[in-house]
Amino acid sequence: MAKGGFQGSRGGFSGGGVNPNMIKQAQKMQADLLKMQAELEERTYSASAGGGAVSATVSGKHELVTLTLSPDAVDPEDVEMLSDLIVAAVNEAMRTADKAASDNMSKLTGGLNLGGLGL
């Protein structure tokens, strides 16, 4: 065998098995994550644009729940501005939902970046 090859249990990995406490912690974190995800999906997040002329509410599932238009926002001569206000309100409500999910994930994981794990 070449120098520096496999050296049995004398290296970084002791081969001592899996730590049962670590498994319990991971299972608890997974259960907490599922609970948090369900709670976030039940919440609604609102935002407005144009000084309140357009208000949008989205669910934690990123579905538009309500859209409220002020009569003042409805100008047949300027439909483009109304469209822009709707897009802005919906996008801000979505960002609010995303931030809430991200903040809760950080609390749950203690700031660990688990993005590469598909979480």
**With contact defined as beta carbons under 8 Å apart, do 62 and 43 qualify?**
no
Q: Is residue 33 part of a domain?
A: no
* pTM, two decimal places: 0.66
Structure tokens of 49?
């644009």
- Number of domain units in the chain: 1
**pLDDT (tens digit, 9 = 90+) per residue, 14-54?**
555 778 888 888 888 888 888 888 888 889 999 999 999 99
Q: Per-residue DSSP letters for 24-66? A: HHHHHHHHHHHHHHHHHHH-EEEEEETTTTEEEEEETTS-EEE
Domain ranges, residue 71: 44-108
Output the domain CATH number for residue 77.
Answer: 3.30.1310.10
On whether residue 119 sits in a domain, the answer given is: no
Is residue 2 assigned to a domain? Answer: no
Q: Provide the sign of the torsion angle of the four alpha carbons 55, 59, 61, 64, taken in this order.
A: negative
